[in-house]
Chain A
Amino acid sequence: MAETKKDQTSTHKIGIYLWIWGLLFVLSFFSYMVDWYNFQGLLRWSLILFFMFLKAGLIMAFFMHLFWERYALVNVLLWPMTAIACFVGLMVAEGKYTVFSRLFYFFVGGA
C-alpha cells in the first residue's frame, strides 16, 4: 500500500483527515440515497456493497493509519478479513440452497 514509509512519530497534515472525513460523509449520504430512491435488486446490493467497502477502506487506510504501516502488519490484518468475506459469501450461497430445499420439501414433499 504505502510507498513512502513514515516514522511513527511523524504527523500527517490535517488536510488528509478532513478530506477523508468529508468523503465519509458524502459516501454515507450516497448509501442513504440508495434507500431513499428505493433501488431494488442487483443495483441496490452492488451499490450498498460498493459504498460499504469504500467507507471501510477509507477508515482503515487513513483513520486507522494502515496506509502508513509496514506490510507485516497490514497483511496480518487483511488476509483473515478477506477469508471472512469469502466465508460470508459461501454461507449466503448455502442459505439459498437451504431455502430451496425447505420450500421443496414443505410444498412438493420431496417428490
Chain B
Amino acid sequence: MSDLNLDKLPGGFKGMSEDIGSDQTTFKGVNWGKAMMWIFLLSDTFVFSCFLVAYMKVRASVVEPWPYPSEVFALEMFGVPVPLLLIAIMTFVLITSSGTMALAVKYGYEKNRKMCGWFVLLTAIGGLTFVGMQAFEWSKLIFHDGVRPWGNPFGAEQFGAFFFMITGFHGTHVSIGVIFLFIFARKVFRGDFDTGRRGYFTTMKSDYVAIEILGLYWHFVDLVWVFIFAFFYLW
C-alpha cells in the first residue's frame, strides 16, 4: 500500500469507474484479506436473506395467527411479565461487544498491543455472554413452553421452524466468532502482529489488519442481529 497514494486518486463515482477500469487491482488500498472478508460477508448476507425472504413470505401467508413475539419472549420479573426482556439485554450485550470490537480495531491500527488485546478479549466475553443467554432462551422455549419446529402452543406451526433456523444460524455465527476472538486475543497478547510471526496455517506474516478483518466479521454478526431483532422479535 505504500506505493499507492489514495489521496491523489479521484473519489466518488469517477474514482470508481477509474478503479474498475484501471487494469489493476480494483479495490485500491484494501488489503486482499479484507476484500475477501467483504465478499464472504456479502455471500453470507445472501444466505440470511434467503431465510428472511422465506420467513416474511410464510409469515405473510399463514392462515393461522402468528404467535405474538412480545408475549412469547416475555420473562417473569417479580411476578410481572416483562416483554422481550431477555432479547433486549441480548441486544445490548451484542452492541456493547460490537463497540469494544471497534475500539480493538482502532487500537490495532495504532499498534497498541495491550489495549487491542484487552478489547478483543472483552469482545469475546461479550459474545460468550450472548451465546449463553441464547442457550437459556432456547431451553426455556423448548422445555418450558414446548416449542418445536413442527408446532407450538401459541399459534402458526411454522413459528418454531423459523425461530430455530434463523436464531440458530445466527448463534452459530456468534459461536464461531467467539472462538476466533479468543484465538486472536491470544495472538495479539503474544505479539504476533508486532513481530510478524507467521501463522499456523499460512507462511504469511501476521499483521494488525487481521484484527480489522475479524472486526468486520464481528460487526456483521451484530448487523444480522439488528435485522433479526426487527423482523423476528419486534415485527
Is the pair A8, B30 in contact by a Cβ cutoff of 8 Å?
Answer: yes
The complex places the Cα of A44 from the Cα of B230 at a distance, in Å, of 11
Secondary structure type dominating chain A contacts: helix
Chain A residues in 8 Å Cβ range of B136: none
Interface membership of B220, Cβ < 8 A = yes
Cβ-defined partner of A73 (8 Å) among B30, B83, B229, B233: B30
Cβ-defined partner of B223 (8 Å) among A36, A45, A60: A60
On chain A, the number of residues with a Cβ less than 8 Å from chain B's Cβ atoms is 61
Secondary structure type dominating chain B contacts: helix
Is the pair B61, A102 in contact by a Cβ cutoff of 8 Å?
Answer: yes
Is the pair A94, B57 in contact by a Cβ cutoff of 8 Å?
Answer: yes
Contact A21:B95 (CB < 8 A) given known A56-B227, A70-B29, A88-B53: yes
The complex places the Cα of A95 from the Cα of B106 at a distance, in Å, of 44
Cβ-defined partner of A9 (8 Å) among B46, B99, B109: B109
Is the pair B110, A11 in contact by a Cβ cutoff of 8 Å?
Answer: yes
Contact A28:B28 (CB < 8 A) given known A88-B49, A94-B57: no
The complex places the Cα of A98 from the Cα of B13 at a distance, in Å, of 41
Which residues of chain A from 3 to 62 have any CB-CB distance to chain B below 8 Å in the complex?
A: 3, 5-12, 14, 17-18, 20-21, 24-25, 28, 31-32, 34-36, 38, 44-45, 48-49, 51-52, 55-56, 59-60, 62
Interface membership of B75, Cβ < 8 A = no
Looking at B19-27, B165-173, B176-184, the stretch in contact with chain A turns out to be B19-27
Is the pair B99, A35 in contact by a Cβ cutoff of 8 Å?
Answer: no
In this complex, which of A70, A81, A88 has the most chain B Cβ atoms within 10 angstroms of its Cβ? A70
On chain B, the number of residues with a Cβ less than 8 Å from chain A's Cβ atoms is 63
Looking at B4-12, B125-133, B144-152, B192-200, the stretch in contact with chain A turns out to be B4-12
The complex places the Cα of A81 from the Cα of B151 at a distance, in Å, of 32
Q: What is the minimal beta-carbon distance from B113 to any residue of chain A, in angstroms?
A: 15
The complex places the Cα of A92 from the Cα of B54 at a distance, in Å, of 9
Nearest-CB residue, chain B, relative to A97: B61
Is the pair B220, A64 in contact by a Cβ cutoff of 8 Å?
Answer: yes
Is the pair B38, A73 in contact by a Cβ cutoff of 8 Å?
Answer: yes
Is the pair A2, B11 in contact by a Cβ cutoff of 8 Å?
Answer: yes
Nearest-CB residue, chain B, relative to A9: B109
Interface positions of A (Cβ within 8 A of B)? 2-3, 5-12, 14, 17-18, 20-21, 24-25, 28, 31-32, 34-36, 38, 44-45, 48-49, 51-52, 55-56, 59-60, 62-65, 69-73, 75-77, 80-81, 84, 87-88, 91-92, 94-96, 98-99, 102-103, 106
24 inter-chain pairs at a CB distance below 8 angstroms, sorted by A residue, are A5-B9, A8-B29, A8-B30, A8-B31, A9-B1, A10-B109, A11-B109, A17-B103, A18-B99, A21-B95, A21-B102, A24-B98, A28-B92, A32-B84, A35-B83, A52-B231, A55-B226, A59-B223, A65-B212, A70-B6, A87-B53, A88-B49, A95-B61, A102-B61
